[in-house]
Amino acid sequence: MSWSRRSGYVPQEIEPKWQKLWADRGVMKADDASTKPKFYDLVMYPYPSGDLTVGHARNYVMGDVIARMKRMQGFEVLHPFGWDAFGLPAENAAMKRGGIHPETWTLENIAKATRVTAQTATIVAAYEQIRRGRQPVEPEPEGSHAENFLRMLYGAEPDQLFVRAMDLALILHADHELNASTFAARVTAATLADMYSAMVSAIGALAGPLHGGANEQVMKMLQKIGEPSRVGAYVTETLQAHQKISGFGHRVYKTEDPRATHLRQMSKELGEHIGNLRWYEISRKLEEAVMQQKHLYANVDFYSASCYFTMGIPIDMFTPVFAVSRTAGWAAHVLEQYADNRLIRPRAEYLGEKDVAYVPIDRRVKAAS
């Protein structure tokens, strides 16, 4: 097998195995290597003219999810475990029973990682279109992941600086060691649950306000401040009330978050590009005031807020956009966990009372009453 930036994983050495696997599933004839398979069952199978690129895989998956989202319009309730609605097949059970060779299982999970990265971006963009009363937008065959995501999110051709900003944000947010959501994904993967279950665990952790949603709170704070001239008073009032200022401090970094360095510059470029530096200027003054009074550095969420808002992304979409980026990192961690797996099972130390006499339940009820 080989890896390249252009083609991704190319399973050329085990092509006969894949032909048989897909033939058994009814995806293609075992003797017809030229038959193009259903993309949501096989993302990385070589085409007759060469191999299938990650870009092609992304766009085929995006197109399929769009079709499924369109069919679901008008339905108010989806079954919470209805993964087949998005073409997420439950394949791992057979693999765990030994029905598929471990090498093929690895390739299957790499294909799943590609699919879920594309599917997450597609679902977020389609949701934004549907809630605005518009039809989801089909992906274009060409263009980067960031460009297609913005096109589908806006329903129009994105500004190229916006594309560069989104590409930067997707890269900077993709992974950050064992944060809460990544750890949740790895704990789930360590049980040999499937890729999609691990992704759901990660999203559940991201839903908590102490992990996801920080940049949403930053933008609401910037709107509340309103003008650069009001920054000083806001910081003083907030700190005197012993309240936190969103977007500052980090569990890991005791110096400036290196991701914030790049997003600060991008926030300025975006403001200059649209002719409105208001949010950047408020952010800069706020950063300076917090550093002076609390000696806290801005984190990645602080400048991503003004970047996304300047690009016209709704505030309540900030966390879903974060998930669009972090899905790639989650998937990479899950693949790494599968490759060298051990059940993640921390111990707990009991710190309660000892040598407590047992009290029968009926006596406990009487005592409580």
* Residue 295 domain flag: yes
Instruction: Look at 275 and 248; give whichever has higher pLDDT.
Output: 275
- Any bridge partners for residue 9, and if so which? 3
d(CA 248, CA 288): 11
CA–CA distances in Å: residue 112 to residues 25, 199, 223:
16, 11, 40
Q: Of 135, 158, 181, which one is at a domain's C-terminal end? A: 158
Same domain, 285 and 154: no
Residue 163 falls within a domain, yes or no?
no
pLDDT-wise least confident of 84-98, 230-244, 298-312, 346-360: 84-98
The CA-atom distances, in angstroms, between 19 and each of 45, 56, 61 are 9, 20, 20
pLDDT in tens, 260-296: 999 999 999 999 999 999 999 999 999 999 999 999 9
Q: What are the backbone dihedrals phi and psi of residue 253, each rounded to the nearest 5 degrees, phi first?
A: -85, 130
pLDDT of the residue at 287: 96
Asked whether residue 251 is domain-assigned, the answer is yes
Q: Give strand ranges (E) for the chain.
A: 2-4, 8-10
Q: What six digits make up the tokens of 83?
A: 């993964």
103 has a pLDDT exceeding 70? no
What's residue 364's pLDDT?
84
Please tell me the distance from the alpha carbon of residue 308 to that of residue 216, in angstroms, as a whole number.
10
Beta bridge partners of 50: 47
The DSSP code for 252 is: S
Give the three-state DSSP class for 222: helix
Q: According to the model, what pLDDT value does residue 82 have?
A: 38
Structure tokens at 364: 């406990």
Residue 307 belongs to domain with CATH number: 1.10.230.10
Same domain as 219, residue 130: no
Whether the per-residue pLDDT at 75 is higher than 50: the answer is no
21 with 132, same domain? yes
295 noted as active-site residue: no
The sign one gets for the Cα dihedral 124, 129, 135, 139 is negative
pLDDT at 37 over 60: no
Residue at 123 is within a domain? yes
In this structure, are 16 and 112 located in the same domain?
yes
Q: Does 10 lie in the same domain as 111?
A: yes
Amino acid letter, residue 61: V
Q: What is the chain's alpha carbon radius of gyration, rounded to the nearest angstrom?
A: 24
Report how far apart the first and last C-alpha atoms of the chain are (Å, whole number): 70
Does the annotation count 24 as an active-site position? no
Specify if 194 maps to a domain.
no
- Report pLDDT digits (tens) over 106-140: 888 999 999 999 999 999 999 999 999 999 999 88
What is the structure's pLDDT at 208?
Answer: 87
Q: Which of 56, 211, 262, 273 is catalytic?
A: 211
DSSP string for residues in 84-139: GGGT----HHHHHTT-S-HHHHHHHHHHHHHHHHHHHHHHHHHHHHHHTT-PPPPP
Alpha carbon distance 366, 319 (integer Å): 49
Q: In which domain, by residue range, is 246 found?
A: 214-316
Q: For the chain, what is the mean pLDDT?
A: 79
Marked catalytic residue, from 41, 173, 194, 250 = 250
Same domain, 115 and 232: no
Q: What is the DSSP string of 148-173?
A: HHHHHHHTSPPPHHHHHHHHHHHHHH
- 47 pLDDT above the threshold of 90: no
Same domain, 4 and 116: yes
Do 128 and 2 reside in the same domain of the chain? yes
Reply yes or no on whether 273 is catalytic: no
Q: Tell me how far apart the alpha carbons of residues 248 and 266 are, in angstroms, rounded to a whole number.
A: 18
Using DSSP, state whether 264 is helix, strand or coil.
helix
* Residue 290 tokens, joined: 């917090």
8 Å CB contact between 27 and 85: no
Query: What pLDDT, on a 0 to 100 scale, did the predictor assign at position 61?
Result: 58
Say what the pTM is. 0.72
The answer as to whether 235 is a domain residue is yes
Note whether 149 and 221 are same-domain residues: no
Residues 13 and 140 in one domain: yes
Q: Which residues, in sequence order, are bridge partners of residue 47? A: 50
Number of domains comprising the chain = 2
User: Which of 51, 64, 257, 301 is an active site residue?
Assistant: 301
Lowest mean pLDDT among 47-61, 142-156, 305-319, 340-354: 47-61
Which candidate, 131, 147, 129, places its Cα nearest to that of 139? 147
Same domain, yes or no, for 46 and 133?
yes
Q: Give the end of a domain, one of 143, 158, 173.
A: 158
More confidently predicted of 254 and 183? 183
Domain-embedded: residue 84 = yes
Does residue 109 fall inside a structural domain?
yes
Q: Are residues 222 and 99 in the same domain?
A: no
Q: Which residue has the higher pLDDT, 80 or 56?
A: 56
* Amino acid, res. 153: L
Token pair for residue 31?
């003797």
Q: In this structure, are residues 267 and 307 in contact, taking their beta carbons and an 8 Å threshold?
A: yes
Residue at which a domain ends, from 298, 316, 334: 316
